[in-house]
């Protein structure tokens, strides 16, 4: 099928590359001429596993980039809107880009005057956006009956976006008309029939992947709510386990054991129950606030979401207090920070709890030497404070008073502890991601402070201050 994707950001670019991979002809549109030139020249603007391979394989063949919405509409049977929906100052989603694209789509449809096409909202949007897109398009001259609007929320995670797209837990297609639903089914047919996954050149299947993929066809409004409710539920799991971790700290229990115990109940499951320094990223913080705003708009207070957000914000402060309690004073301390990205496997630092913590540490008078395998360039763009960037974890740790783990990169969980200890001024690790077992750290001779587990403090020098 011929598909247009408007927006070449995270969601748009991954979707465009994956649609090409499953056999469609795709035009991906962006209004940023510089970005288009870079994409056409072979650049891969985001750090995402398998994306370079897919772009290389399909660019100039089944995947083309263009600056013209009109070209994409003319050529395509389905046009996906994948532009940003940032957070407005009041917490609601700012839908001005979606509205601007809807107007352009309407003008292009009015010009095209031919076949029926579907417009698909892929960006994360509040309920009723589908109806608004429809209204705006009609007001702007899209001929009645020439189009329908579907809602097809994306559930991809940064770092595994390509495999999330090609091996999804589910595909949600919100369509209020059968002819629209039929096109959505046809688009995803290579995944729902299992045909793609059988191909010899398919991107390798992750272990737990469900094959063939399941498509759930719902009303447009339900699909919109499924996206917000899914992200809110996942964030709630994280805040829940963080709150439990705090109780574990108070009573001397071990949150990892508690997580094992509750997660073994198949109704609960272990995933997204990793305690830490709180969730971040471009989705959860923004989507929780947007969902809350939508709920309020329609007369429901949904205070549970307030609490999820509050626990998340408190979690960072708590970690900061932990650093203080371990090191006594912060002014003048040299700290090695491992991790700046909002989670492992990505170079994205948007709403990264690591960045927020680094800002606080600098304000407190620490000097920070940071290392991240992928996010140092992005962090240079956003960090207002000056920090030193190191070439490796060990270089960051050199002569530091303590090492902090702020991002769950795999390599941070496999450090050579002897080498790290030699590099550090004091063998102190404060681990915001629970990447090590306290027993192992005790054996390695570290003072080790983590989340929701008893501290290891073999060194008299690390005097315990009153608990945060
Ligand atoms: C999230 C959802 O997981 C995707 O399903 C969704 O499509 C996406 O948002 C979106 O709306 O576009 P993402 O933001 O890439 O994906 O990252 P996650 O893997 O969900 O992690 C979010 C944050 O939660 C990270 O800061 C991570 O470190 C934290 N987290 C995650 C925890 O603290 N504990 C956990 O157990 C899991």
Q: Which CATH number goes with the domain that contains 9?
A: 3.40.50.720
**26, 123: one domain:** yes
Residue 372 in contact with residue 407, Cβ under 8 Å? yes
291 CA distance to ligand 1 centroid (A)?
16
Whether residue 282 is contained in a domain is answered as yes
What spacing in Å lies between the alpha carbon of 283 and ligand 1's midpoint?
7
Q: Are 405 and 418 in contact (CB under 8 A)?
A: no
* 54 alpha carbon, distance to own chain's centre: 20
Instruction: Kindly state whether residue 140 falls inside one of the protein's structural domains.
Output: yes
Protein residue closest via CA to atom 6 of ligand 1: 155
Selection from 430, 420, 426, 421 nearest residue 450 by Cα: 430
Residues 131 and 254 in one domain: no
50 and 142 part of one domain: yes
Closest CA relative to residue 2, chosen from 23, 30, 31, 29: 23
Same domain, residue pair 153 and 239: no
Same domain as 249, residue 125: no
Among residues 188, 218, 248, which one ends one of the domains?
Answer: 218
Q: What is the CATH number of the domain that holds 274?
A: 1.10.1040.10
Show which of 176, 197, 218 is a domain's final residue.
218
Pair 236, 279 in one domain: yes
Q: List the domain range (segments joined by +) for residue 285.
A: 228-308
Q: Is residue 324 part of a domain?
A: no
Contact 155 CB / ligand 1 (< 6 Å)? yes
- Does the Cβ of 352 fall within 6 Å of ligand 1? no
Relative to the CA of 237, which ligand 1 atom is closest? 36
In terms of domains, do 189 and 266 share one?
no
Among the candidates 277, 308, 339, a domain finishes at: 308
| Per annotation, catalytic residue among 18, 28, 180, 283 | 283
- Max CA distance (Å), the chain: 79
368 in a structural domain: no
Q: Kindly state whether residues 187 and 154 are assigned to the same domain.
A: yes
**Catalytic residue flag (residue 28):** no
Which pLDDT does position 208 carry in this prediction?
A: 85
pLDDT in tens, the chain (468 residues): 999 999 999 999 999 999 999 999 999 999 999 999 999 999 999 889 999 999 999 999 999 999 999 999 999 999 999 998 888 888 888 999 999 999 999 999 998 776 899 999 999 888 889 999 999 999 999 998 999 999 999 999 998 999 999 999 999 999 999 999 999 999 999 999 999 999 999 999 998 898 999 999 999 999 999 999 999 999 999 999 999 999 999 999 999 999 999 999 999 999 999 999 999 999 999 999 999 999 999 999 999 999 999 999 999 999 999 999 999 999 999 999 999 999 999 999 999 999 999 999 999 999 999 999 999 999 999 997 789 999 999 999 999 999 999 999 999 999 999 999 999 999 999 999 999 999 999 999 999 999 999 999 875 554 444 555
Exposure string for 221-259, b = 16+ CB within 10 A, e = fewer: bebbbbbbebbbebbbbbbbbbbbbbebbeeebbbbebb
Q: Residues 194, 248: one domain?
A: no
Q: What is the pLDDT of residue 463?
A: 47
* 432 pocket-lining for ligand 1 (C-beta < 6 Å): no
Strands 63-66 and 78-81: unpaired
Contact of 109 with 116, CB cutoff 8 Å? no
* Ligand 1 binding pocket includes 62 (Cβ within 6 Å): no
Predicted local confidence at residue 462, as pLDDT: 47
**Phi, psi dihedrals of residue 248, rounded to the nearest 5°:** -55, -45
Question: Of 420, 407, 380, 401, which is closest to residue 331 (Cα–Cα)?
Answer: 401
Residues 237 and 262 occupy one common structural domain = yes
* Contact call for residues 317 and 350 (beta carbons, < 8 A): no
For residues 152 and 301, membership in a common domain is answered with no
Q: Classify residue 167 by burial, with Cβ atoms within 10 Å: 0-12, 13-18, 19+.
A: buried
Whether residues 167 and 301 fall in one domain:
no
């Amino acid at each position: 099928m011929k598909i247009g994707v408007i927006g070449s950001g995270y969601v748009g670019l991954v979707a465009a590359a994956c649609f090409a991979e499953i056999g469609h002809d795709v035009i991906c549109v962006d209004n940023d001429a510089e970005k288009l030139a870079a994409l056409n020249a072979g650049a891969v603007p985001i750090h995402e596993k398998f994306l370079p391979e897919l772009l290389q394989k399909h660019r100039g063949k089944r995947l083309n980039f263009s600056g013209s919405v009109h070209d994409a509409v003319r050529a395509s049977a389905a046009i996906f809107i994948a532009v940003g929906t940032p957070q407005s100052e009041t917490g609601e989603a700012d839908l001005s880009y979606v509205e601007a694209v809807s107007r352009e789509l309407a003008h292009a449809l009015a010009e095209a005057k031919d076949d029926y096409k579907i417009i698909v909202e892929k960006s994360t949007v509040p309920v009723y956006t589908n109806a608004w897109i429809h209204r705006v398009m009609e007001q702007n001259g899209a001929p009645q009956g020439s189009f329908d609007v579907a809602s097809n929320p994306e559930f991809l995670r940064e770092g595994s976006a390509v495999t999330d797209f090609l091996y999804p837990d589910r595909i949600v297609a919100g369509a209020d008309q059968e002819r629209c639903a039929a096109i959505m089914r046809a688009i995803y047919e290579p995944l729902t029939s299992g045909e793609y996954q059988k191909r010899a050149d398919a991107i390798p299947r992750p272990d737990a992947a469900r094959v063939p993929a399941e498509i759930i066809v719902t009303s447009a409004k339900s699909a919109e709510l499924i996206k917000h409710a899914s992200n809110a539920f996942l964030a709630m799991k994280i805040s829940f386990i963080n709150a439990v971790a705090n109780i574990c700290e108070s009573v001397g229990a071990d949150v990892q054991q508690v997580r094992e115990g509750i997660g073994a109940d198949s109704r609960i499951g272990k995933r997204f129950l990793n305690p830490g320094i709180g969730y971040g990223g471009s989705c959860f913080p923004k989507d929780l606030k947007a969902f809350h705003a939508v709920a309020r708009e329609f007369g429901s207070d949904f205070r549970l979401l307030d609490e999820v957000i509050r626990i998340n914000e408190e979690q960072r402060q708590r970690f900061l207090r932990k650093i203080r309690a371990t090191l006594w004073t912060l002014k003048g301390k040299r700290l090695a920070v491992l991790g700046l990205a909002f989670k492992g496997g990505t170079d994205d630092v948007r709403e990264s709890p690591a960045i927020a913590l680094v800002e606080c540490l600098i304000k407190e008078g620490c000097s920070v030497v940071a290392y991240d395998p992928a996010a140092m360039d992005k962090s240079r763009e956003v960090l207002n404070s000056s920090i030193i960037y190191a070439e490796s974890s060990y270089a960051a740790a050199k002569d530091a008073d303590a090492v902090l783990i702020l991002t769950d990169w795999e390599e941070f969980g496999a450090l050579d502890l002897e080498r790290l200890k030699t590099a550090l001024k004091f063998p102190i690790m404060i681990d915001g991601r629970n990447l090590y077992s306290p027993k192992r750290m005790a054996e390695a001779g570290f003072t080790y402070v983590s989340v929701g587990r008893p501290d290891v403090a073999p060194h008299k020098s690390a005097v315990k201050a009153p608990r945060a």
